[in-house]
Amino acid sequence: MKIHFLGTSAAEGFPALFCRCSHCLKARELSGRNIRTRSSAIFDDTLKIDFPPDTLHHVLRDGLDLGLVKDLFITHTHLDHLWAEDLGMRLPVYAHGLDHPLHIYGHDAVVRKCRDAIGWPGDEFIAVRRIVPFETVDTGTAVVTALPANHDPEETCLLFFIEKDGKNVFYGHDTGLLPEDTWAWLANRKLDLAILDCTNGNLPFTGGHLNIEAVLGIRDRLRNEGILQTGGQTVVTHFSHNIGLLHEDLTAIFGAEEITVAYDGMVLYI
């Protein structure tokens, strides 16, 4: 399985959109892996998680063919994860040569946001489907189960367990400490890869996102409960500029823990 990390920042980007703090100035100076855009990933070029406002940038930067994407799973409606207006660019007049519809999956608020942006264009173009926590979707090439996140108390935010080609991936952001019912569902599963939120870096834990200490705690529990199997990998992503940690700082911290720090454009095979 190929996992392509398109964006690895929190909502404001890193460096942040308008920010002139010392961390953002340094990131602009160093460039490279210190430049982070809003969060998304693609699995085997056909299954995408989230649709941020930086999607066109991702397409141009990485030479993507979004026409290959058949299934789009949305974690929640925060603007860095769903810029629904750009979904209209997949409709006739704007997009040609497509040979399949795009299937979009999300909870109630996601469906409403998509409908407000693009209306009802017809399932032959874009099919929007409501899913709920613990519902499993068989896309034909992958099996994806929605799990509860601990993020925005006013919205049902989702995490995803992705089974594809004999490999299992937990897509674990945006979230704070995992709900116990999510842990209960994971209890009898085996993971090849856990992708975890690290928005708060070495700042204090705030509840809706993870920091370094919380990431290590989740990774250790996954290991101790036998969910993250021997040889299984952990990747951290979704970093805020407020943590003041550049890519080399993060790799120094997580390298000792054998945890991979994602960066924009990173491709991982499992």
pLDDT at 158: 98
Residue 205, pLDDT > 90, answer: no
Beta strands in the chain (DSSP E): 2-7, 40-43, 47-49, 71-73, 102-106, 126-130, 136-138, 143-148, 158-164, 167-172, 191-197, 228-237, 260-261, 267-269
Across residues 201-206, what is the average pLDDT? Answer: 88
User: Which residues does 265 contact at the CB level (< 8 Å), separation at least 6?
Assistant: 4, 5, 6, 61, 62
Q: What is the pLDDT of residues 84-130, one digit of tens each?
A: 999 999 999 999 999 999 999 999 999 999 999 999 999 999 999 99
pLDDT at position 206 over 90: no
Amino acid 136 reads: T
- Distance from CA of residue 187 to its chain's centroid? 22
d(C-alpha 81, C-alpha 95), whole Å: 22
- Residue in the structure block whose two tokens are 């998509």: 114
pLDDT level of residue 246 (50, 70, 90 thresholds): very high
Q: Does the pLDDT of residue 19 top 90, yes or no? A: yes
C-alpha 119/C-alpha 122 separation (Å) is 9
In this prediction, residues 176-205 reach a mean pLDDT of 96
SS3 (DSSP) at 42: strand
Q: What one-letter code names the amino acid at 77?
A: T
- pLDDT score for 252: 98
User: At 189, is the secondary structure helix, strand, or coil?
Assistant: coil
Q: Which two tokens stand for residue 80?
A: 């860095």
| Average pLDDT of the segment spanning 58-64 | 98
Note the pLDDT tens digit of each residue in 123-166.
999 999 999 999 999 999 999 999 999 999 999 999 999 999 99
pTM flag (> 0.95): yes
Share of the chain above pLDDT 70, in %: 100
Beta-bridge partners for 162: 144, 169
**Separation between Cα atoms, residue 74 and residue 84, nearest integer Å:** 10
The Cα–Cα gap between 250 and 67 comes to 34
C-alpha distances out from residue 232 to 64, 153, 270, Å: 28, 31, 9
Flag whether pLDDT at 207 surpasses 90.
Answer: no
Architecture per CATH, 2-269: 4-Layer Sandwich (3.60)
Both tokens of residue 264?
């924009």
Mean pLDDT for the chain overall:
97
Output the pLDDT for position 249: 98
